[in-house]
Amino acid sequence: MLRLPAVAGRFYPSNPEDLTALVRKSTVANAGVSPVPVRACLVPHAGYVYSGQVAGAVLARIALPRKIIILGVRHYPRGEPAAILSSGAWRTPLGDARIDEELAEALKKDCPLLHEDSVAHSTEHSLEVQLPFLQVLAPDFTFVPVALGTVEFESLVSVGEAIGRVLEASKENLLLLTTSDLNHYEDDATTRVKDRKAIDRLLALDARGLYDTCRNEGVSMCGLGPAVAMLTALDALGAKKPELVKYATSADVSGDRSAVVGYAGMIFS
């Protein structure tokens, strides 16, 4: 199938030249820094004007491989709770990004919870907004889109363990690109305190701690499920080097500190 863009012209420019220029502007702060291979990363998925600099700071640091699993959230209550697409392409203003069929089939085989479903992906922006960055920075990449609507801890662990097995078994370099925004729509000071609690658990590679912290402390992290799955996969791979690359809130752009969203960019080696 060909998945058409759902948020072009809203979350990012629909004009190809403007979009390419904005991606390059978002990564320019890391120009001259030698990219390094990493196992996984965490990037936000808001409109580029708000979170593009955080995403760009992360992706510019990474020696991007040709094969990427994009693990996002299902914001809307439609479709399967753990949805994958295993063939076709996703279109953006920069062209078509091809799904890696072999990698998708390996994931489905290893994780029965993942179900083929175009409905969950049809209007979901969390994965879509990653593609123009990758199209500019790694033009030959292929990817597998996975959207998680479930927030059941055991299910998230099951998905993460399967991803870890696939990453470990691969003879090629793979990147697990996970996307989440942090706390939503509280004042800036409160959001920064709550976000720090979530970031500390991410830096500790503590999947259970992140899940419990967000639930018990009221941290409205929209991609909690993907992040828990990512940390579970990293635990299986023996990852030991997390790094917070950049943090911001929407107030850093808008100046409105009354109701903000937090954004963290992280890499995991």
Across the chain, what does the average pLDDT equal? 96
Q: From edge to edge, which strands make up the β-sheet containing 89-92?
A: 2-3, 89-92, 95-98
User: Would you state the pLDDT for residue 248?
Assistant: 98
User: What distances in angstroms separate CA 183 from CA 122, 196, 228, one per listed residue?
Assistant: 25, 10, 16
Query: Is residue 31 over pLDDT 80?
Result: no
C-alpha 130/C-alpha 266 separation (Å) is 15
Backbone region of residue 238 per phi and psi (left: phi > 0; alpha: psi in -120 to 50; beta: other values): left
Query: Is residue 123 over pLDDT 90?
Result: yes
Could you identify the residue written with the tokens 């597998």? 144
pLDDT tens across 94-119, in order? Answer: 999 999 999 999 999 999 999 999 99
User: Would you state the pLDDT for residue 98?
Assistant: 98
Query: Is residue 53 over pLDDT 90?
Result: yes
User: Would you state the pLDDT for residue 29?
Assistant: 72
pLDDT tens across 165-210, in order? Answer: 999 999 999 999 999 999 999 999 999 999 999 999 999 999 999 9
What's the chain's length in residues?
A: 269
Average confidence (pLDDT) over 121-132: 97
Query: Is residue 249 over pLDDT 70?
Result: yes
The token pair that represents 168 in the structure block? 């470990």
HSE of 216 in the Cβ direction (CA atoms, 13 Å)? 8
User: Would you state the pLDDT for residue 77?
Assistant: 85
Q: Provide DSSP, the chain.
A: -EEPPSSBTTTB-SSHHHHHHHHHHHHGGGTTPPPB--SEEEE--S-HHHHHHHHHHHHTTB---SEEEEEEE--SS-S-SEEE--SSEEEETTEEEEB-HHHHHHHHHH-TT-EE-SHHHHS-HHHHTTHHHHHHH-TT-EEEEEEE----HHHHHHHHHHHHHHHHH-SS-EEEEEE---SEEE-HHHHHHHHHHHHHHHHTT-HHHHHHHHHHHT---TTHHHHHHHHHHHHHHT---EEEEEEEETHHHH---SSEEEEEEEEE-
User: What distances in angstroms separate CA 34 from CA 54, 61, 108, 127, one per listed residue?
Assistant: 18, 7, 34, 26
Average confidence (pLDDT) over 135-163: 96
Torsion, Cα of 164, 205, 70, 131 (10° steps): -150
C-alpha 132/C-alpha 95 separation (Å) is 9
User: 225: pLDDT confidence band, cut at 50, 70 and 90?
Assistant: very high
Average confidence (pLDDT) over 252-266: 98
- In degrees and rounded to multiples of 5, residue 66 shows phi and psi of -80, -20
The token pair that represents 138 in the structure block? 């790694």
